[in-house]
Amino acid sequence: MADQFVKVAEIDAIPPGKMLCVALPTGRMLLANVDGRIVAADDMCTHEDASLTTGSLKSHYVKCPLHGSRFDLFTGEAMDEPAEQALRIYDVKIDGVDILVKID
Per-residue pLDDT 10s for the chain (104 aa) are: 457 999 999 999 999 999 999 999 889 999 999 999 999 999 999 999 899 999 999 999 999 999 999 999 999 999 999 999 999 999 999 999 999 999 87
Angle at 94 between CA 56 and CA 59, to 5 degrees: 25
Taken in order of first residue, the domains within the chain and their CATH numbers are 4-103 (2.102.10.10)
Of 78, 94, 80, the closest CA to residue 12 belongs to 94
HSE toward the beta carbon, residue 78, CA cutoff 13 A? 19
Residue 51 carries which side chain, given as an amino acid letter? S
Q: Which helix or strand (DSSP H or E) is residue 19 part of?
A: strand 19-24
- Residue-level pLDDT at 2: 54
The 8-class DSSP code of residue 51 comes to B
Of 1, 8, 33, 2, the closest CA to residue 95 belongs to 8
Is pTM beyond 0.85 here? yes
Neighbour tally for 53: CB within 10 Å: 21
- Residue-level pLDDT at 1: 43
- Residue-level pLDDT at 87: 96
